[in-house]
Copies of this chain bind each other. A is one copy, B any other.
Amino acid sequence: MERRSTDLRPADVATPADDTVEGVGELATLARILPRLPHGDDTLVGPGDDAAVVAAPDARFVVTTDLMVHGPDFRRAWSTSHDLGWKAAASNLSDVAAMGARPTALVVALAVPGDTPVTELEAFADGLREGCAVMAPGAGVVGGDLSVSPTFTVAVTAFGDLEGRQPVRRDGARPGDVVAVSGALGRSARGLDLLFRLGVDHEGTPDAPAATALRDRDADVGWHLAPTPPVADGRSAALAGATAMLDLSDGLALDAGRVARASGVVVELSAAALGDDPRLALSGGEDHSLFATFPPDVALPGGFRAVGTVRDTAGGAPRVTVDGSEIDGAGGWDPYRLWSGAQG
């Protein structure tokens, strides 16, 4: 059940100067975070004991884990704590969805500098809760851990219920299948490019006020910082008979290549189906959209749209083509490759 953050946040309460994780202590910090986290419909035993217990109605559960580390994965000058909570939910829920499962629960481990204000962790919890409410209503946080670290680090593990279906893996695409995508392509990359060019001060250092102003002007900036992937479409794709599926975290070119290799097929993409900027659609990661293949007679479910066709390799190597030309998916998506700790 969704609880709006405004229901829980005391309005205009003055925050004492030592209201940091170190000043407040682990137990009292947890006591402030826990009420803000979503309670899930499948939670049998929630936080507070040595471990939680979650329902797994069909006697199996889907599990995925993902780290977000300050530097390689985000910059504090650009991402609010609310963004980080939302994005941690998004990136993990989309992996559960990409197996064709219904997300049921998450556990969240946070390691943060001791001088982090507890209000930042409350905002993180709010983002996580609100993200779950929008992307996977009914999924709850069943446990977690909190530690002090010089490096702000988020480790989320998410769970899902296959509802008796087989998981949709990467290796099931068959010649003749329709290639389809649900969700944005390249939008997160465009937002990040804007941040790198304009979300900085005159010396090129990431700058919070500049990023905030930029975000107000262009919605792709907010999309990069807190995307809303089509999580429910994962289950819909499985119900419709998707033969292969994955989460587009590293860019369409690279991720389509994974399906091509796992399935031993050619993934033929049509540039005209990839929007105004096919290059960006192919290379940009972190949209967490869903890539799936469907038998040719299937009506595409939810937000899926056709972007190509699966073909036999005809004795050649598995590969990805765009309008018939083979593309190189190597290199991958590493948006913060050049990050140094001095840069926000």
Contact = CB atoms under 8 A, between A and B. Distances in A.
Interface of A: 44-45, 49-67, 69-73, 95-96, 98-99, 101, 105, 107-111, 142-151, 153, 155, 157-160, 162, 167, 169-170, 245-247, 341
Contact of A69 (B58, B71, B73, B111): B111
A290 to B, nearest CB: 10
A66 B107 CA distance: 10
A143 B45 contact: no
A228 to B, nearest CB: 18
Contact of A169 (B49, B64, B95, B159): B49
6 contacts: A49-B170, A63-B105, A65-B145, A71-B149, A71-B150, A145-B155
A69 B148 contact: yes
A59 to B, nearest CB: 5
A333 to B, nearest CB: 11
A58 B51 CA distance: 17
A49 B167 CA distance: 10
A98 B153 CA distance: 27
Given A50-B64, A73-B147, 11 more contacts: A51-B63, A51-B160, A53-B63, A54-B61, A56-B56, A58-B59, A63-B142, A67-B109, A107-B157, A150-B151, A155-B155
